Amino acid sequence: MIIFPAIDIKDGKCVRLIKGDFGQMTSYEQSPFDQAKIYFKNGFKNIHIVDLDGALKGKSFNSNIIKEILKNFKLKIQIGGGVRTINDVENWVKSGADKVIIGTAAVENRDFLKTACKKFKNKIALSLDVKDGLIFLSGWKKQTNILVSDFLKEIKNFGVSRIIYTDINKDGTKSGPNIKDTIELSSNVKIPFIISGGISSIEDIKKIKSLNNSNIEGLIVGKSIYDGDIKINELAKQI
């Protein structure tokens, strides 16, 4: 079970949102680089980074910060936010990203997702941000009428290396993850799933780790770390 501590970047700062609402955004003192350093020093090998400015505007705005992290720490980093073209994917792969996360562009253009998976084998992670069964796009600002279950049927043979499933209703709330829906959806495809949204305690993590489900590859922890609900040294023991 891979534990991905998260770094969400907006205007060069570490931030966390509640249910994807930029009006409910908390900024934190620690810079993204320093936060990555803390994760690295505590023994984490995998990190989840999202350029929120990129997600909103369709192109990366914090790439220099992320590239500094890639250059200075031996970490497997999955990076998303503003990845809209094959060129974007290629740039991140060349910069040393372990996985490149595609969300909005994958849903709006299935051919792009298919091409990216073919060209960059085992490098493409698909981000599905879901509220009440429907997929949301563009930093969760845009609701589609696409059911996540239908979309999964369409792309199940494209070669996606992992799916990051975020329940928007849970994200940033620290109210516990939506394990039930994640397991249900993951059973329909042979693509490893990452649980994201709502993780509030070490107990939540232990519960996910105890799942007898080979299709759940890992989990993402964000706000609970920044707010101190989950201590880094305690989380590190779960690696």
Catalytic residues: 8, 129
In this structure, the strands spanning 2-10 and 124-131 are unpaired
Going by C-alpha positions, the residue among 179, 65, 161, 185 that lies closest to residue 106 is: 161
Structure tokens at 77: 């980093």
* Residue 216 CB contacts under 8 Å (≥ 6 apart), including other chains: 1, 182, 183, 186, 192, 193, 194, 195, 208
Residue 140 near residue 31 (C-beta atoms within 8 A): no
Cα–Cα distance for residue pair 103/155, rounded to 1 Å: 13
Cα–Cα distance for residue pair 66/9, rounded to 1 Å: 9
Q: What is the H or E stretch that residue 136 is in?
A: strand 134-137
Torsion of CA 108, 116, 166, 24, to 10 degrees: -70
Helices (H), 109-172: 110-119, 148-155
What's 176's DSSP letter?
Answer: -
